[in-house]
Amino acid sequence: MSLITSTTDLAAACNRFAAHPFVTVDTEFLRETTFWPKVCVIQIASDDEAVAVDALAEDLDLTPFFELMANPAVTKVFHAARQDLEIVWHLAKMIPAPLFDTQVAAMVCGFGDQVSYGELAQSICRVTVDKSSRFTDWSRRPLSEAQITYALADVTHLRDIYRALVAKLEKSGRLGWLVDEMKSLTSPATYEQHPDNAWERFRGRARKPRDLAVLMEIAAWREREAQSKNVPRSRVLKDDVMIEIALAAPRTADALGNLRAFPRGMERSRSGSDILGAIERGLERDPKTLPTIERDRRSGGGGATVELLKVLLRQVSERHGVAAKMIATVDDLEAIATDDRATVAALSGWRKELFGIKALELKRGRLALTVEKGKVVTLEWHETPGPASEEETQP
């Protein structure tokens, strides 16, 4: 078994990996009972070898691994990298670069939205990945041979997947399309958990400024508690309870305890006192300093426009072989429906060329959607009589 348990062996392996143009990387971690992910195993592979690193081994120093991840001469290849990168950021305050995410690349290559590693292994490598150890407890020791074999499979096939996707991207001239996506994945802001921003996950739940002000304070308190205790947010306060508190804004322990979903007895605890303090801070906020409460963009006539934009997005996605989610999100479509100059990814760069320009033309009545031979096609408006069919959903 290729299992590394000592710093000396890890350093030697990372020195060998550093001689290669790319390495494939994956992690096995647990997060069910903690706020921060607990890394248990790290898998790394080059063309010459594949190793599993026991991240829980006694006295193991992961510094050689972090140095490899920071090596600018070695491309780090992950599949669905975000959680793996969050682990590295939390442990070392650095993000692997240069980076290549095969899930993002697969979306650009037309494999669909959020295609799994197993699906790519089957499609590209013609192998079926064994998932029998998928829900294993990676924190238990010793690790079995079956666990290590399973873990290594997540980086060995990734080598061929990476090569195949790079070849497709180079052939189609789309390699540059990944630049913006990789910038987002390698930005520290993507992984920093600022308590003052925790409310943004519930932005649409606040009906009026007072609700928002209290929600901002309660969410920040919960985030700080969860981080300091390293427990899931729900262990501190469940989402629905937090929303109920924000909307009711109780100002006494009795009123807090009378809320339907509030944990019994918690109102008399230190946490109850902290929550009441957060409510008061929220109520004292100047409404003029609060973020604008977003109204439903689909109200009024916007809903019909959004639905048309969804059809156009699907048509463009299928014709060009790019996952729809990669081109535009529902939020993007709603923003475009109400504002031709919306600051969204779909109206910049290659996305604008592929979809954004057509979306604006559709809004302005200069582009129409119809069906020919069972396929959605776009019709451009011309000065001369008679519309011309521009393109079908598939080439």
Give 48-68 pLDDT, tens digit per residue. 999 999 999 999 999 999 999
**Separation of CA 224 from chain center:** 22
Give the bridge partners for 379, in sequence order: 368, 389
Q: What is the mean pLDDT of the chain?
A: 90
| Amino acid, res. 82 | R
Give 114-171 pLDDT, tens digit per residue. 899 999 999 999 999 887 777 789 999 999 999 999 999 999 999 999 999 999 999 9
Give 197-207 pLDDT, tens digit per residue. 999 989 888 88
- The model carries a pTM of 0.84
| Structure tokens belonging to residue 302 | 């916007």
Alpha-helical (H) ranges within the chain are 7-17, 63-70, 82-92, 102-108, 117-120, 145-172, 178-185, 209-229, 233-236, 239-248, 253-257, 270-284, 302-320, 324-327, 330-338, 349-351, 357-363
Decide if 329 contacts 359 (C-beta within 8 A): no
Decide if 225 contacts 233 (C-beta within 8 A): no
**For residue 383, pLDDT beyond 70:** no
**Domains of the chain and CATH, by start:** 3-190 (3.30.420.10), 195-289 (1.10.150.80), 302-391 (1.10.150)
